[in-house]
Amino acid sequence: MKITKEQILSHGLKLDEYRKIKNFLGREANLLELGIFSAMWNEHCSYKSSKIHLKKLPTKNKIVIQGPGENAGVIDIGDDDAIVFKIESHNHPSFIEPYQGAATGVGGILRDVFTMGARPIALMNSIHFGSPDSKKTQNLLNGVVSGIGGYGNSVGIPTVGGETKFNSTYNENILVNAMAIGHAKKNKIFYSKAKGINKPVVYVGSKTGRDGIHGATMASAEFDENSEDKKPTVQVGDPFTEKLLLEACLELMKKNSIISIQDMGAAGLTSSSIEMASKGKLGIELDLDKVPCREKNMTPYEMMLSESQERMLIILEDKKENEAKKIFDKWDLDFVVIGKTTDTNKLVLNFNNKKVADIPIAALADEAPQYDRKWKKFKVKKNNFKIKDLKKIKTEEALFKILSSPDHSNKSWITDQYDQVVMCDTIQKSGGDAAVVRVHKKEKAISISVDSSANYCVANPRTGGKQIICENWRNLISVGSKPLAITNCLNFGNPEKPEVMGEFVECIEGMKEACEFLDYPVVSGNVSFYNETNSKSIFPTPVIGGIGIFDNLNRIIDMKTKKTGNIIIVVGKTFGHLTRSSFLKEVYSINDGPPPEINLTNEKNNGLSVLNLIKNNLVLSCHDVSSGGILVALAEMSITSMLGLKITRPKKFSNFNEYLFAEDQGRYLLEIEKNNLEKIEKMLKKDNTFFEVVAEVQNDIFEVDKILSIKIEELYRCNNQWFKKFNAVN
């Protein structure tokens, strides 16, 4: 049967790509083979538009055990311990079916981590929604949050933090990025590379159904008005089975039976089998009659492209099948030998005693298309306004507007739906600069932060790329940890558009520069393209998940001010940069002009100076200055502790708001004891690090001399009212 043009296009392939497929096969493809190529050649699996640019990112240093290319990245944290982590997107599925889309996003990223031999210890997320005054936004938010909590809580992994943001750019294309972190022994890491000939290929976990077929292809296409008709492409998760699968896999990993192991994630049995064979330069032959199915009369096409959840593919050592099967029987999971490795370098599929597919592995993997797409250099826009021409507003009113806005308001309504303390190793949960989780049964802990930079990136992708790396780095330092490495999830529009590709390329360049300068390697990640609906793209939204390490559990700090009479200093200079600020956005509805510049030398110097002060037990609390500027950061510290602050009136600025709300980068607020000021001053001068005193801790009044005076209870109410109103109105 000849493949039609309509069939080719409906599978997300271009006509010239199908011509390449015919050349690889030396014949027409059948429908099953077309589906397999479609799955392996889409953006989600092949990274065909991004691969050449991703190679620019630094991925190695002395602590990196495994960088990009495996299920998750692995870093060495000493004492034979390793941290395994990754972040991935589940954007399109979550828009179509918010609960299951978000839930299976969590399930998928957990499998990426425990596939490597790590026990998951924490989850994080970055979720972005459209206009907050929309009923649709409320429905999507409720569904996504319920899905994240429902899956994570049920499988017993704490969700310790993340971020939630709102902007109309996400009205028809929300972002749901999930991060998982696991702990393993560095000499017990498992990989997906197949080895050996005639080794048994084993299917384990749940049965295969018809849910999620063409899920990866759907994730590599833009939306239109019919997007919600794609619900059958969304997977359905079962966290209780995931828990069984996790425990069974970790138990088997103790037996020295596994040659390679791969999660059946995007593109299911197709991608898992091909990736294992490709990495091992081997072939693989599968008998599809043996695939456990939960629905009758499933075709080879459906089996190979199903993205049913909670499944793994394992290649075992010879004569280990019985031992392994006993483990999976114990956990009440399917365990079936469905194939073998071969020396043919081909994917061969058999069904009903017939060969139904015969494809060179290289054609599906190494020879998949890679595009150096045209891209347009970004032109930074100048300000269309002057700060001095804006209508004057009282500082108190501006502060209230920012603290009560959707992006800055207290998110406990969301985070309280997540179990943040299950496993009993959570030291610091959501609400601060970074979460802190103890390495189980050890006097060791890691910090975790997830951050995004859409507002800065849309104004200057290169600067925005640098900024989000630096902000993530600052957040980890702010709790007293040394930043180690990152994972990224890069959410962009249609890469076939030169302006979108330009945003991506320049964002990568900015990230590269910052990562190299800070020695902050990228060890894993994900690219999510085609985040647009009816040709309208989202803002470029890079999301960064960072990991830090504490050398002493006694040096973990938070942003909560501790005692009246202590003083607050700011490390880093304030120049008064207001364009792209929360002040202009929330007060004047202006979102224009360039973002603040990033001075990497200052970022590194200021951060290391702060970390040195913390290590010398001179810092009682710390908070980085980011969105909203100094005044908002100080207010957040006060609200957290319910202690007031007497803030020093700025002397160098005629426009006080320009100082108080500026978003200049590289700054930290530190609470210190007065009697340590002189010592700290000497240390910072030695490091050539600028600082100044900005406030003193007092009882219950938050004030700036002759500018504002507010009771802490008022600030608290202001910061906690938005979600109450949001749920009441909608």
Distances in Å between the alpha carbon of 174 and those of 137, 169, 170? 9, 9, 5
Please name the residues in contact with 222: beta carbons below 8 A apart, sequence gap of 6 or more: 493, 494, 530, 531, 532, 533, 535
What span, in angstroms and rounded, lies between the C-alpha atoms of 101 and 113? 19
Burial of 284 (0-12, 13-18, 19+ CB in 10 A): buried
- Give me the residue label for tokens 């996003």: 105
pLDDT at 510: 98
Phi-psi region of 646 (alpha: psi -120 to 50; beta: other; left: phi over 0): beta
Torsion of CA 250, 340, 41, 280, to 10 degrees: 70
Q: Longest Cα pair distance anywhere in the chain, in angstroms?
A: 86
CA 48 remoteness from chain centre:
21
Distance in angstroms (rounded) separating the CA atoms of residues 466 and 522: 13
Q: Which two tokens stand for residue 562?
A: 């501790």
What is d(CA 403, CA 716) in angstroms, rounded to the nearest whole number? Answer: 9
Retrieve residue 421's tokens: 């303390």
Each residue of 269-313: pLDDT tens digit?
999 999 999 999 999 999 999 999 999 999 999 999 999 999 999
Comparing CA positions, the residue from 269, 301, 248 lying closest to residue 119 is 248
Closest by Cα among 178, 54, 208, 161 to 111: 178
Rounded CA-CA distance 261/259 in Å is: 7
Give CA–CA dist 605/90, Å, rounded: 37
Does residue 267 sit in helix, strand or coil? coil
d(CA 464, CA 540): 9
How far lies 455's CA from each of 390, 461, 539, 574, in Å?
21, 10, 7, 20
Active-site residue identified among 11, 53, 90, 214? 90
Nearest by Cα to 489 from 163, 167, 197: 163
pLDDT for residue 268: 92
SS3 call for 723: helix
Q: Output the six-digit token pair for 724.
A: 């109450």
pTM of the model: 0.96
Tally the residues of the chain. 730
The predicted structure's pLDDT at residue 668: 98
Output b/e per residue, 61-97; b: 16+ Cβ within 10 A.
eebbbbbbebbbbbbbbeeebbbbbbbbbbbbbbbbb
Catalytic member of 11, 44, 408, 623:
44
Whole-angstrom distance, CA of residue 447 vs CA of residue 466: 21
**Residue 173: count of CB within 10 angstroms of its CB:** 23
| Helix ranges (DSSP H) in 646-692 | 656-660, 677-686
In 3D, which of 53, 99, 3 has the Cα closest to residue 503? Answer: 53
The answer to whether 662 and 582 are in contact (CB under 8 A) is: no
Tokens, residue 691: 């600082």
Task: Tell me what the pLDDT averaged over the chain comes to.
Answer: 94
Write the pLDDT tens digit of every residue in 45-82.
999 999 999 999 999 999 999 999 999 999 999 999 99
At 730 the pLDDT is 55
What pLDDT is recorded for position 233?
A: 60
pLDDT score at 727 = 78
- Output the pLDDT for position 228: 52
pLDDT at 724: 81
Is 408 known to be catalytic? no
* Rg of the chain in Å (alpha carbons): 26
Joined tokens for residue 85 = 């982590």
Characterise 26 by phi-psi region: left (phi > 0), alpha (psi -120 to 50), beta (else). left
Question: Token pair of 661, please?
Answer: 């709300």
Distances from the Cα of 537 to the Cαs of 172, 298, 437, 507, 593, in angstroms? Answer: 10, 37, 36, 16, 20
To the query of whether residue 577 is one of the catalytic residues in this protein, the response is no
Q: Residue 313: name the closest of 344, 292, 282, 342 by CA.
A: 292
Residues of the chain with pLDDT under 70: 214-233, 728-730
